[in-house]
Amino acid sequence: MDYSLVIMWIGFILAGYSVVGNDSIQTLGTFLSSNENRPWWVLWVFAGSILSATLLYGWYATSGDVSYGRLEKYPFIEDMSWPYLLPPLVLMLLTRTGIPVSTSFLILTFFKPKGLMGMTMKSLLGYVLAFAVAILVWQLVTRLLDKKFIKNPITPSEKRTWTILQWGSTGFLWAQWLIQDFANIYVYLPRALQFSEILISLVILLVMLGYIFYSRGGAIQQIVKAKTNTVDIRSATIIDFLYALVLLFFKEFSKVPMSTTWVFLGLLAGREIAIRYQLGKDHYESSRIFKILGLLANVIVFGFITYVVGYSIYLKVFSPDISFSISNGLILAFATVIILRAALVFVETKQEGEAMNGTYRMIGMDLGKITFGLVVSIALVFLMKWLTTGAIGF
C-alpha cells in the first residue's frame, strides 16, 4: 500500500473540513444567521449545487486544475509524509474554539514557505481595501438604509424580495470564495485530477458542507452574530454582495493565493465602525473641525480605492499584457490611512460622549486572532522543515 497516497487523502479530508468549517463565517455566516428558520438541508442543497458547479467547471476549463491557476507555483508533493497533516489538524483545533485563523497561511505556507511574504502583503491589501470600502459605503448605507432596517422590522412582502436578492448575492459570493479557497484544499491532491478523483473529492466536500449547515456554522459563527444587525436579511444581503465584489476584484487582480479571512474581517470592521459612528450621531452634531477632517479623510481613502481598483481595471481592459502590481510601501501607506480614519472616528465619538470602546475592542480581538494564526503558520513552517530535513529556516 502506498503510504503517501493515504497521507494525501487524509490531508485532503482534514483540509476540506477545516477550511469549510473555518471559512463558513465569511461566505455563509450571514446567510445562516438570516435563515435560521429554514431547514438546514434546504440551505445545504443550495450551497452544495453552487460548490459542485464551480468545482466541475474549474476542472473542465483548466484541464483538471480546480484551483483556477492558484496552485501554479505550488508543485505537488509526490512523497507526502505525516508532517503535512499538521496544518489541517491545527486549523481544525482552532476552528473548534471559534478562532478565525487564515487557512491560506496555515496550509499553503506549509507547502511553499517562500510564498509567505507575497501572500501576506496581498492579504493585508485585501484587509485594508475591504475596510476602506466598507467604512465609506456604510456611512452612506447606514444613513439611508440601516437605520430604517433597525427601527422597522421587515414586512412579509419585503421579505420575499430581499430573500431572492440575498440568495442571489450569497450564491455569487460563495462561488467567488470557492475560486479563491479551492487551492487551500486541493493542494493535497495532484494538480491535474482524474474524473474519479474529482467525483470522490466532491462527495467528501458535500458531506462536510452538510455537517456545517446541520450544526449551523459551529462556534465560529458567533463572530458574525456579534456584529450589528447581521441577522437582518437586508443587511446580510448588502454584506454578501460587497464582499463578493472585493473577492471578484482580487480574482482578476492576481493569481497569488490570499487570506479571504482577512478580507472578510476587514469588511466587517469597517462596517461596524461606520454603523456605530452614524447611529451615535443621532445624539450629537459633529463640530466643524471634525466635519472637515472627516471629509478630508474620506476623500483620501476614496483616492486610494480609486487608484487600486481603477488603475488595475484600466490595465486589465486596455493593456492586458502589463501586470498591475502594488508596492509594499503603498500597501502600508494605505493601511496607515485607514488606521488614521478609524482613530479620527474614535477621538470624535469619545469627545462627544459616544465612545466606541466596545467596538474597537471587538475589532482588536479579531485582529489579534488572525495575527495569532499568522504566527502559528510561521511556527509550523519551521517545525515542518525541522521534522522533514532536520534544518530550520526558509
Q: 3-state SS string over 53-81?
A: HHHHHHHHHCCCCCCCCCCCCCCCCCCCC
| Residue 155 per-residue DSSP state | P
> In the structure grid, which three cell numbers stand for residue 25, read together?
463565517
User: 490611512: which residue's cell?
Assistant: 337
What was the pLDDT predicted at 131?
92
What was the pLDDT predicted at 357?
83
Task: Label residue 204 by pLDDT band (50, 70, 90).
Answer: very high
pLDDT by residue (tens digit) across 341-367? 999 988 888 876 766 788 888 888 888
What was the pLDDT predicted at 190?
92
Task: Label residue 336 by pLDDT band (50, 70, 90).
Answer: very high
- Residues in CB range of 2: below 8 A, 6 or more apart: none
Residue 225 phi, psi (nearest 5) = -65, -25
- Closest to 101 in 3D by CA, of 383, 386, 380, 382: 380
pLDDT by residue (tens digit) across 142-154? 677 766 777 777 7
Distance CA 276, CA 358 (A): 10
What was the pLDDT predicted at 72?
84
pLDDT by residue (tens digit) across 104-124? 777 888 788 777 788 888 888
Q: What's the pTM value of the predicted model, to 2 decimals? A: 0.82
Task: Label residue 57 by pLDDT band (50, 70, 90).
Answer: very high
Residue 101 above 70 pLDDT? no
Higher-confidence residue of 78 and 12: namely 12
Contact 166, 236 (CB under 8 A): yes
What residue segments make up the domains of the chain, in order of their start?
3-389
Distance CA 272, CA 169 (A): 20
Contact 223, 367 (CB under 8 A): no
| Residue 34 per-residue DSSP state | T
pLDDT by residue (tens digit) across 213-238? 887 665 544 555 555 455 567 777 88
Task: Label residue 77 by pLDDT band (50, 70, 90).
Answer: confident
pLDDT by residue (tens digit) across 238-263? 878 888 888 888 877 777 778 888 88
Q: What is the largest CA-CA distance in the chain?
A: 75
